[in-house]
A and B are shown apart, each in its own frame.
Chain A
Amino acid sequence: DSGVTQTPKHLITATGQRVTLRCSPRSGDLSVYWYQQSLDQGLQFLIQYYNGEERAKGNILERFSAQQFPDLHSELNLSSLELGDSALYFCASSPAGSSGYTFGSGTRLTVV
């Protein structure tokens, strides 16, 4: 157990639907990062939150949004889902700064 908890582990949904992925960071970590891992694009950075505020944005589609709550857990919302959104979505956390991440075990999203 890495200390970063992601739920659900697997999600199968239809095109056009909306899903929410949840992440609880390791205790004491203020930063949360979301990454998408797919076979054709590798690990792509989506977004970072630090202590409730958006800190950096990567290749995140407009159909996707995220937030970090006062208890530091984070949610990634994916809407109007397309087949191409099928991927592994990882959450990672770190203390302040960039001394390395602790990753969760991921959510495997399958859009059918």
Chain B
Amino acid sequence: AQSVTQLDSQVPVFEEAPVELRCNYSSSVSVYLFWYVQYPNQGLQLLLKYLSGSTLVESINGFEAEFNKSQTSFHLRKPSVHISDTAEYFCAVSVANAGKSTFGDGTTLTVKP
């Protein structure tokens, strides 16, 4: 079975500061990795994903994540955050081609002015 650990439940940062949200996973087989974002009173939205190929993946709004197989990690980073990035972020893992995803407990990112 797969599992996901998001190492920080809450991350407060100031606007324009860099941020890293940490995610470790456990699996004995090949996996796909995902980051989702959930804004208040909304559903989750897929932010970025690693399926294969380049270990560095990027989103359209400046986030990036790097798949590190040796450390079983998929940390999410952004060099300069905005107030509008305030949301809850979920890391998820699924067995390659299996469909079902297992989610971490989420990290609440709060960007302060």
Contact = CB atoms under 8 A, between A and B. Distances in A.
Interface of A: 2, 4, 31, 33, 35, 42-43, 45, 48, 50, 55-56, 58, 90, 92, 94, 97-106
Contacts of B105: 42
Interface stretch (B19-27, B45-53, B76-84): B45-53
Interface in B38-83: 42-46, 49, 51
Contacts of A42: 103-106
A50 B99 contact: yes
Contacts of B102: 45
Given A42-B103, A43-B90, A97 B97 contact: yes
Interface of B: 32, 34, 36, 42-46, 49, 51, 90, 94-106
A103 B100 contact: no
A105 B99 contact: no
B43 A99 contact: no
Contacts of A106: 43
Contacts of B51: 99
A45 B102 CA distance: 7
A103 B106 CA distance: 16
Contacts of B32: 98-100
15 contacts: A4-B43, A33-B100, A42-B104, A92-B44, A98-B32, A98-B100, A98-B101, A100-B34, A100-B49, A103-B36, A103-B43, A104-B43, A105-B42, A105-B43, A106-B43
A7 to B, nearest CB: 13
A58 B100 contact: yes
A2 B49 CA distance: 17
A64 B44 CA distance: 23
A98 B95 contact: yes
